């Protein structure tokens, strides 16, 4: 099975029963016998909402029957067993830990982490010895925070695969193990690079400046920069200043990679970074355009000052910046920006004119009737229709002659007649 399909199936399973109405056991039992593999997978995922021994029995039976897992049913059974919360699910998941597919075994390990008790912890301990390092990572992460996991995690920290050691270090920190702090410090100088970067990220999350310094040095030296950047992203807002410095100092290859990471970080500080980048006249035009696009995606969380900064971009002299800025103002602006918007209804770019008119329509109304009458002469048909609709909403009888001129044109007739009807109704 292709890795992309695996990821898609995992997402579908994670979304399975959450927020949906719980399907009756009888219905799910019947669905598990259908020929359609997708329906069997959905039924298995939905069984996780039933915290009963019967659900565990059905899931284990479904797992055993599914010999060719083209639809992710076996993995769905593993996920659902962990969701049932039933003690009997531990034994079922121990059986699934013997599955030939590492992906299914990994789902079983993650599911065991959601089940309480010493039996689940012991099963996870066995999974930390799996032949595939990806399963060992899943088991180690599932052990984090569990009572009695300390010795298992210390042993996993010595795993020959560095990704397992990195996961063990994170789990030890999560478990507040007494040796975790000392291990973090030593990892910065003694551990393989994967573990070292994870240690740096964990230190940075705890406010230790050594963490971000280590990650920044790795990125600047281009030594496994991609991993160092991903670890920095996991730190969240405290890492934004460091990443911003890497962007400013980076070359044509590094800077876009840093922007990719910052765009994935949706916190307050990364939004402030993109607001600053959008307003920086010395920044590359493509980067400023990207920054404004990010601000549009995050328009609902922009502060008042950031919206004001967007309005200032209307004078930037770049059509892309102007158009997207107008879209943001359309969503988040108010009438206070209309005097800046007004000149743009005469802009050379039809998209800029469209969103300028849209802003005037939303926030100005009848105050800009004469502007909408003039816009009836716009060379772009969409803008003419927008002007007709705006006049229909707030125009007065003085605009009727100009509107009636469009009533005989097929592509505008409906809009013109609706506008005339609305104005005449208001005038009665």
Tokens of 199: 């240690």
**The predicted structure's pLDDT at residue 394:** 94
Residue 103 and residue 74: Cα distance in Å, rounded? 10
Tokens of 122: 């012991």
In order of 68, 89, 249, 256, 340, the CA distances from 219 in angstroms are: 43, 44, 11, 13, 42
Kindly report the CATH number that applies to the domain delimited by 364-428: 1.25.10
Tokens 């990195």, residue? 166
Tokens of 88: 């009997």
Q: Residues for the chain: how many in total?
A: 428
**Residues with pLDDT less than 70, the chain:** 1-20
Using CA atoms in the order 161, 162, 168, 173, what is the torsion angle rounded to 10 degrees? 170
Q: Say how far residue 6 (Cα) sits from the centre of its chain.
A: 19
Packing angle, helices 319-332 and 304-312, rounded to 10:
150
Q: Say how far residue 287 (Cα) sits from the centre of its chain.
A: 21
**The predicted structure's pLDDT at residue 14:** 44
Neighbours of 5 (CB within 10 A): 12
Tokens of 381: 């048909």
Neighbours of 422 (CB within 10 A): 16
| In the chain, where the domains are located | 1-115, 364-428
**The predicted structure's pLDDT at residue 67:** 82
User: What pTM value is reported for the model?
Assistant: 0.77
**The predicted structure's pLDDT at residue 269:** 97
Kindly report the CATH number that applies to the domain delimited by 1-115: 1.25.10.10
146 in the Ramachandran plot: left (φ > 0), alpha (ψ -120 to 50) or beta?
beta
In order of 58, 146, 162, 405, 409, the CA distances from 113 in angstroms are: 21, 8, 21, 71, 68
Q: Do domains 1-115 and 364-428 have the same CATH topology?
A: yes
**The predicted structure's pLDDT at residue 20:** 55
């Amino acid at each position: 099975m292709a890795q992309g399909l695996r990821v898609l199936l995992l997402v579908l399973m994670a979304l399975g029963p959450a927020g949906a109405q719980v399907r009756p056991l009888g219905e799910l039992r019947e669905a598990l016998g259908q020929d359609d593999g997708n329906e069997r997978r959905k039924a298995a995922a939905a069984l996780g909402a039933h915290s009963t021994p019967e659900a565990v029995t059905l899931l284990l039976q479904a797992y055993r029957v599914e010999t060719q897992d083209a639809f992710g049913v076996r993995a769905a059974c593993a996920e659902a067993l962990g969701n049932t919360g039933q003690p009997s699910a531990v034994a079922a998941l121990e059986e699934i830990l013997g599955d030939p597919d590492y992906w299914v075994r990994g789902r079983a390990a993650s599911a065991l982490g959601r089940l309480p008790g010493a039996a689940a912890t012991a099963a996870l301990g066995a999974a930390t010895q799996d032949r595939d390092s990806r399963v060992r990572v899943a088991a180690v992460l599932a052990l984090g925070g569990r009572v009695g996991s300390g010795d298992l995690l210390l042993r996993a920290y010595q795993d020959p695969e560095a990704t397992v050691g990195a996961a063990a270090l994170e789990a030890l920190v999560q478990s507040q193990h007494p040796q975790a702090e000392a291990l973090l410090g030593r990892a910065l100088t003694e551990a393989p690079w994967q573990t070292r970067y994870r240690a740096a990220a964990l230190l940075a999350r705890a406010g230790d400046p050594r963490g971000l310094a280590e990650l920044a040095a790795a990125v600047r030296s281009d030594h496994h920069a991609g991993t160092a950047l991903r670890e920095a992203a996991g730190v969240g807002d405290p890492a934004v200043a460091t990443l911003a410095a890497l962007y400013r100092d980076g070359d044509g290859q590094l800077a876009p990679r840093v922007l990719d990471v910052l765009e994935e970080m949706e916190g307050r500080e990364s939004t402030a970074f993109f607001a600053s980048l959008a307003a920086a006249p010395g920044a590359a035009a493509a980067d400023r355009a990207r920054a404004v696009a990010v601000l549009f995606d995050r328009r609902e969380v922009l502060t008042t000052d950031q919206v004001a900064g967007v309005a200032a971009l209307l004078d930037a002299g770049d059509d892309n910046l102007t158009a997207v800025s107008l879209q943001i103002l359309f969503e988040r602006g108010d009438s206070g920006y209309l005097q800046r918007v007004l000149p743009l209804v005469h802009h050379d770019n039809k998209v800029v004119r469209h969103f300028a008119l849209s802003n005037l329509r939303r926030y100005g109304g009848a105050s800009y009737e004469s502007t909408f009458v003039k816009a009836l002469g716009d060379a772009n048909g969409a803008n003419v229709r927008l002007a007709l609709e705006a006049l229909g909403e707030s125009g007065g009888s003085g605009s009727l002659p100009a509107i009636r001129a469009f009533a005989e044109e097929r592509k505008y007739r409906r809009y013109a007649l609706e506008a005339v009807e609305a104005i005449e109704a208001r005038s009665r």
